[in-house]
Amino acid sequence: MKTSVPAVAVWGRTAPSHSITAVMITDDQQTIVTGSQEGQICLWDLSSDLKISSKEILFGHTASVTCLAKARE
């Protein structure tokens, strides 16, 4: 059985200046996390109507972020 998944853009009318290399969505499906080739990690709010808005940007990595994983409690 195939399920349909709507496409979602993680930016507005123009693409971000960084290259997204990793994507993760939280278990509650309210936050998208992206990693970039430039070493940034971005947090995005995802509303129930699939509108995405930027939440936070984290700096400090000196290499590309190529993998994202959730930590256990």
Task: Place 59 in a pLDDT band, splitting at 50, 70 and 90.
Answer: confident
Domain ranges of the chain: 20-59
Regarding pTM above 0.75, the answer is no
Distance separating alpha carbons of residues 60 and 36, to the nearest angstrom: 12
User: Which residues are within 8 A (CB) of 57 and not within 5 positions of it... i.e. 6 or more apart?
Assistant: 40, 41, 42, 43
List, for residues 19-50, the tens digit of each pLDDT value: 889 999 998 889 999 998 888 898 999 888 88
pLDDT in the model for residue 14 = 66
Is the separation of the CB atoms in 53 and 46 below 8 Å?
A: no
